[in-house]
Amino acid sequence: MDKSHHLLVGAALGAILILSTHYFLGWFDFKSLINIALLFLIIYIYSLICDVDLKNSTIVWTFIPIGLVITLLGYSFNSRLYFIIGFGLILITFLCAQFMPHRGFTHSILFGILVSLPWIYVSREYSILAFLCFYSHLMLDEEFVKII
């Protein structure tokens, strides 16, 4: 599958989750533009994050500039935390793209749990959305039950 298919299916499943749980369970707040932007960002990143193991993937070329901006902001504002986060994002993205085999660990359920779990500190709803979008990528690549 290519990037557009992964984004389309991830967005469709994400929209179904967001709208159905908002209507029936009261999840997801649409009152803030920041929350809406965050939902779009989660859908975009997690629908493509499996392909962080490909040098030419869209997600690699998204993460590198984001990491660079965060690193430069950290340096400019003398924030060690932002500098480390930005540099870490660049380093991890580079190492995954350079040395991990395609459809290896990054195409596993365990990887999906590991990258989705930090959202639990913001909201369990965001964490579930992130994992669903991640798993949509696995479904399209026919990696339904790949645990590791």
6-57 confidence digits (pLDDT tens): 999 999 999 999 999 999 999 998 889 999 999 999 999 999 999 999 999 9
Residue 52 and residue 90 in contact, taking contact as beta carbons nearer than 8 Å: no
61-85 confidence digits (pLDDT tens): 999 999 999 999 999 999 999 999 9
Question: Where residue 1 falls among pLDDT bands split at 50, 70, 90?
Answer: confident
